[in-house]
Chains A and B, each alone.
Chain A
């Protein structure tokens, strides 16, 4: 898999941080997020929900953002949607969508883009759909705001969209209420709503978490096939590595609001460099491992975002923090390239990372066959 124009992220990040005027995105990517920070001042202190996140994404590609609860993945996506407008969030950095920076853009402008160029699917389709309006109305509503069409045309469009997401008898189901749909159908309806304006970017925030296991795969297939059909870029946010393995081209691993590791799906699954990524992979059940093998959990709990540990935020839970001569305890690790387009924020040297990962493959993850696509 080839890297697209995401040149020397580290350097650009420093430029942006140093306040050097950056006239535009450093690449021609459709979406370019650079040094995004979303902080919430609270009575207990400043919550750094997102603290310096950078990535880029092109049409037709899929980025998976992975992390535990509270790692800032949902806050990042809501930030791209401009849904922190009106809250007390403190947002800095850049979100370039087709060269237009959304961070300083007016609320009205972001609202225009919302639903038309960027759309979002949420975790729980039942609570995300309004119980008092028909599914068709809710889909048509999104289409009506962004297109100058009659209500009748909008409803026909809703029927069409319901058909395209695989809902049988869309002509009659369009007048049903969300509670008359099954869980999987509700999520299909959410997808129909999100795609009704043919967005360039689709953000799926844990789209399968609230669904039956049997339906999860169907929804993922649907997202993937609609992505091919509509040519949108997709950001999929999840804590389920199985989901990203299935869909993502690139993966961003987040921890405590910061980037832990960023690379292609192959990079993350085959040669992960961050101990947190190792932990995630070891705690994932895999078909290619012996059934007697126990899963290895990551010890401890994610840190409070108000009191992020000094140094590397992961060090209290990290088995290798002792190997860095105290740097992990005192110094925040910067993201640095370990391979082409593969960046890791860890004080362990690249060689050491490779050595430990090779060891893990022999021990904890054995007999994991790491050949390309993971199941």
Chain B
């Protein structure tokens, strides 16, 4: 088990390096191959009508005139140790992990990303708890009462949940519960540490909106998984032992049915932590998703690079956690 985790951790580091190479190549190598000079690249860092001297200064400061592999090495070193930028008269220090400077704000990318992280994390984790509990519960009940009104009704709602886009359900919920009946009037982010009650209250609408989509998916998945497991031979064995039906369902049925759900849950949560773009945009929450949208709009390469790396990091970590959980849950993976 320990060697398994160590092996996976090493693989994780390699994966991250590969991801960084590919992203770096996309953003810095391909434009160069297409004929963009380092001078042109440097122009993007300065204002609208830059002087040639200012551009050259930036070019030297950010080492844009160096060969691409040297820049990549510098980028990797910056991630681990931070980077000193020397602009002749003064040096600026970009602490690790240094993803470089933003074109737009002339600030290191990392602190800006970090400041938007709590918003996304609050949104994603809160919604995840909701959809996991709601989706799995509804899925299990639907499976056990297959064909009943409950089953048909909840699967109908689930179909709607899967089909309706967030910008639709989100706006409807805002219209109803924020404007018409102002139960949750403000959807602005308040840090958890500052006021937990307000934090939760302000996030209820985005949570429910996001969770509705995923809960619908999870309810359907759980229902299908549960139906399959409950027809397994070992369920018949459990009944033949004389176990209570509840024990049969929870200990023997649900445990097996939940295993694939864990995988999907990990991946979904990992992906959302990299930015719940549509939800954040709909509710004007300044999380990583909004950060990404702005970075793309501004064609701010260092920011896009940073956000891509961070999102990849979350997904890879989620993958690792899922694999470890899988081994914990299923002994056949362990041995």
Contact = CB atoms under 8 A, between A and B. Distances in A.
Interface stretch (B239-247, B271-279, B284-292): B239-247
A79 interface: no
B22 to A, nearest CB: 38
Nearest to B256: A132
Interface stretch (A34-42, A96-104, A117-125): A117-125
Given A124-B233, A130-B234, A130-B252, A83 B239 contact: yes
Given A122-B233, A127-B232, A130-B256, A116 B242 contact: yes
Contacts of A112: 242
Interface stretch (B168-176, B202-210, B326-334): B326-334
B240 A81 contact: yes
Name the interface size band of chain A: 20 to 34
Contacts of B255: 132
A134 B242 CA distance: 18
A131 B256 contact: yes
B335 interface: yes
A113 interface: yes
B238 interface: yes
A246 interface: no
Interface in A128-169: 128-132, 134, 138, 141-142, 145-146
A331 B240 CA distance: 38
Given A132-B331, A179-B332, A127 B233 contact: yes
B225 to A, nearest CB: 14
A115 B242 CA distance: 5
Contacts, number: 70
A163 B237 CA distance: 21
B246 to A, nearest CB: 12
A131 B335 CA distance: 12
A131 B234 contact: yes
A295 B252 CA distance: 44
Interface string A164-197: 0000000000000101100000000010010000
B146 to A, nearest CB: 12
B240, B329, B332: which has the most chain A beta carbons within 10 Å?
B240
A183 to B, nearest CB: 14
A144 B242 CA distance: 10
B332 A177 contact: yes
A62 B311 CA distance: 66
Given A130-B256, A142-B241, A180 B335 contact: yes
A115 B241 contact: yes
Interface of B: 232-234, 236-245, 252, 255-256, 329-332, 335
27 contacts: A111-B242, A113-B242, A114-B241, A115-B243, A116-B242, A122-B233, A122-B236, A127-B234, A128-B236, A129-B234, A130-B238, A130-B256, A131-B256, A132-B255, A132-B329, A132-B330, A132-B331, A141-B241, A142-B241, A142-B242, A145-B242, A145-B243, A146-B242, A177-B331, A177-B332, A177-B335, A190-B237
Nearest 10 interchain pairs by C-beta: A115-B242, A114-B242, A127-B233, A142-B241, A115-B241, A130-B234, A177-B331, A128-B233, A120-B240, A128-B237
